[in-house]
């Protein structure tokens, strides 16, 4: 898997985060230097979500799973999870990485101490661009238009 956060960063450590009210807590295993994706798709633009995409084994919900509500739209592939008490979306299952997670950089604890490289993802044109963040999901005919 060519996950952007994994490149050239063998050493990882667990960082913690939570939603605004603290009901939902999570941990994510990250290298010290990560790529943070800013996306312009319809939902990321409204939530201000900044993506740290990780593999399944590098993420765990530590508390409050029962307080999560799932929202889906469009293809219903992405599972948008938010705290039913405070409404914050701290992480979700992205359409680009249905076997992984996207963690919201903004929900990480302030002491997470990460070196960040911000990149833009043109999620408004998802089919044309998904191969940039997951080569396995290149869409047939995406470059035909």
- Binding region for Zn ion (CB under 5 A): 19, 21, 23, 83, 85-86
In the complex with Zn ion, which residue's Cβ is closer, 5 or 104? 104
| Shortest reach from residue 80's CB to Zn ion, in Å | 15
| Shortest reach from residue 132's CB to Zn ion, in Å | 32
| Shortest reach from residue 34's CB to Zn ion, in Å | 24
Contact 12, 20 (CB under 8 A): no
Q: In what order do the strands lie in the sheet with 33-39?
A: 68-71, 79-83, 91-93, 100-104, 50-55, 33-39, 115-121
In the complex with Zn ion, which residue's Cβ is closer, 85 or 132? 85
Distance between CA atoms of residues 27 and 85, nearest Å: 20
Q: In what order do the strands lie in the sheet with 12-18?
A: 12-18, 25-31, 59-63
In the complex with Zn ion, which residue's Cβ is closer, 17 or 31? 17
Distance between CA atoms of residues 17 and 109, nearest Å: 5
In the complex with Zn ion, which residue's Cβ is closer, 31 or 64? 64
Contact 114, 33 (CB under 8 A): yes
| Shortest reach from residue 61's CB to Zn ion, in Å | 13
């Amino acid at each position: 898997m060519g996950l952007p956060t994994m490149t050239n960063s063998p050493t990882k450590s667990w960082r913690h985060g939570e939603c605004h009210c603290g009901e939902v807590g999570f941990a994510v295993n990250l290298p010290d230097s990560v790529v943070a994706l800013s996306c312009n798709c319809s939902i990321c633009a409204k939530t201000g979500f900044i993506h740290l995409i990780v593999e399944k084994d590098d993420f765990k919900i530590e508390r409050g799973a029962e307080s999560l509500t799932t929202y889906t739209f469009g293809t219903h592939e992405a599972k948008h999870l938010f705290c039913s008490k405070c409404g914050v979306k701290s992480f979700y299952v992205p359409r680009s990485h249905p076997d992984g997670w996207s963690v919201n950089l903004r929900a990480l604890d302030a002491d997470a101490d990460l070196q960040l490289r911000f990149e833009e993802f043109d999620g408004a044109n998802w089919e044309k661009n998904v191969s940039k963040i997951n080569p396995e999901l290149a869409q047939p005919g995406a470059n035909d238009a």
